[in-house]
A and B are shown apart, each in its own frame.
Chain A
């Protein structure tokens, strides 16, 4: 699975959009980009994933560049409860030697401030 690079930490003002970048320059065509977050040592929580198109759900939006070498997770109106470690993970389709495991890096610690 391709490696990802994320800034170690970011701050965001409450109510503003939080834009979390991720570089995955070695991503291959059958690899998806997943975002999870972990709030204070709780179990990781799925946020969103995508292959090449931009995706949006009730939690966030995922913007993937056309060359797929980077992506941005957008939390449109960050709240204090969004303070967490955010993980960008690249993972192959199941059946391409992938059993569904997730490889977590250090992630980005997002601090939402009042």
Chain B
């Protein structure tokens, strides 16, 4: 069964450093998403991406965040200057249609900012 793959599974970084979280969506999917989940809290939407541009972003997704689909297969989330409060699980998701079909989620990257 096709799946969304995220790397690394766990990343530890120093406050102020840049991190790039990587995702390989399912190959024929066209819609891509990032979500995060702070420990013990609910899953929060960050950004949706379609046709090589952001289609929607949440208030969390400020100027420190960016997304890119650099090579037609990877989908990355960059945090420019990490803060302690960026520590969370980050989930990538993809779907083949935004309309009425399910999103498939990766297993997440646990980001720890120290």
Contact = CB atoms under 8 A, between A and B. Distances in A.
Interface in A7-30: none
Q: How large is the interface on B (under 10, 10 to 19, 20 to 34, 35 or more residues)?
A: 20 to 34
Given A93-B99, A100-B33, A41 B89 contact: yes
A94 B107 contact: no
Interface string A36-50: 001001111110010
A98 interface: yes
Contacts of A107: 42
Nearest to A51: B100
B45 A102 contact: yes
Among A32, A45, A100, A103, max chain B CB count under 10 A is at A100
B98 to A, nearest CB: 3
Could you tell me the dominant secondary structure of chain A's interface residues? loop
Interface stretch (B11-19, B48-56, B63-71, B74-82): B48-56
B100 A44 contact: no
B99 A94 contact: yes
A104 B43 contact: yes
Q: How large is the interface on A (under 10, 10 to 19, 20 to 34, 35 or more residues)?
A: 20 to 34
Given A43-B91, A44-B91, A100 B98 contact: yes
Contacts of A42: 107-108
B103 interface: yes
7 contacts: A43-B108, A44-B43, A44-B105, A94-B97, A99-B56, A101-B45, A104-B35
